[in-house]
Amino acid sequence: MPHVAFVTNVLAHYRVPCFGSLAKKLREQIDFFFLTENMSHRGYVISQGGDGLPATWLKGWNWHRPPNDDRHLNDIRPITKGNYDLIILGAWDEPSYFMLWLWAVASRKKVLFWIESTAYDAYNGPHRRVKEYYKRVLLKKAAGCSVPGKRAFEYCSVLGMPESQIFLAPNATDRPYFSSQADRLLPLRGEIRKKLGIEGVTLYSWAVWLRNTKMCLDLSMRLESLQ
């Protein structure tokens, strides 16, 4: 079995059960690396600590780009010196991912991209052609892509990845966590809405890009204060 380095930006609490299962199945064969321990506008999803995972938080620098995710430039030596056979990169839009891709290609290591993007949410600004070409170059030297659904599958195919090298892995959720939260909070729904001042307000989750919506973030922090 290959020795795997799984690299992504943050450790979200809803990823922990999935990562934990993967670590058990690939015992001593997979290590997780994260670009940062915290991201201010996504603090509500970030797990505190490694939860027993074989995890390393890479040292480095970051710069804020609100309302988008921060960018990171990390010291990648813990990975390049780790004798890994396969590098799984959590996206293609971080400087650290690009450095790891360059190193892997030069070292003849296999690279697999974990991609959730689709053609519908791809960058559509003045440099779109350049960015789409950049993605094609990355995928041309990659061993494959792991995607959560049909649209991401189609997007990677359009960018040049052979369909036989695109692996479908639907997103997992921490069902016990969300179920317990619902059981605890639903009986208090009326009281909570009144305290938060949102009576009569309809809230949409990802339909309005939750992570980029200041109102939802404010409500999340206020809800924590009621717990």
Is 130 part of a structural domain of the chain? yes
The verdict on 164 and 195 lying in the same domain is no
The verdict on 92 and 25 lying in the same domain is yes
* Residue 53 burial (C-beta neighbours within 10 Å; 0-12, 13-18, 19+): buried
Report the pLDDT value the prediction gives residue 212, as an integer from 0 to 100. Answer: 43
Is 14 part of a structural domain of the chain? yes
Find the CATH number of the domain harbouring 122: 3.40.50.2000
Report the pLDDT value the prediction gives residue 208, as an integer from 0 to 100. Answer: 43
| Strands laid side by side in the 144-147 sheet | 55-57, 30-34, 4-8, 86-89, 110-114, 144-147, 166-168
pLDDT in tens, the chain (227 residues): 789 999 999 988 878 888 888 899 998 899 999 999 888 777 657 776 666 788 999 999 999 887 778 899 999 999 999 999 999 999 998 999 999 999 999 999 999 999 998 888 766 777 788 999 999 999 999 999 999 999 999 999 999 999 999 999 887 666 777 788 788 888 888 887 787 777 776 665 543 444 444 455 565 555 555 55
State the pTM of this model: 0.76
Q: Which residues contact 188 (CB under 8 A, 6 or more apart)?
A: none
The verdict on 150 and 200 lying in the same domain is no
- The DSSP-derived string for 55-85 is EEEPPEEEEEETTEEEEEEE--HHHHTS--S
CA 145, CA 152: separation in Å to the nearest integer? 10
Q: Which residues contact 212 (CB under 8 A, 6 or more apart)?
A: 67, 68
The verdict on 41 and 136 lying in the same domain is yes
Angle of helix 214-226 relative to helix 189-196, nearest 10 degrees, comes to 120
Amino acid at 47: S
The verdict on 104 and 142 lying in the same domain is yes
Specify the DSSP class assigned to residue 42: G
Report the pLDDT value the prediction gives residue 226, as an integer from 0 to 100. Answer: 52
Structural domain harbouring 10? 4-168
* Residue 126 burial (C-beta neighbours within 10 Å; 0-12, 13-18, 19+): exposed
The verdict on 88 and 13 lying in the same domain is yes
Q: Which residues contact 8 (CB under 8 A, 6 or more apart)?
A: 32, 33, 34, 35, 89, 90, 91, 114
CA 149, CA 170: separation in Å to the nearest integer? 6
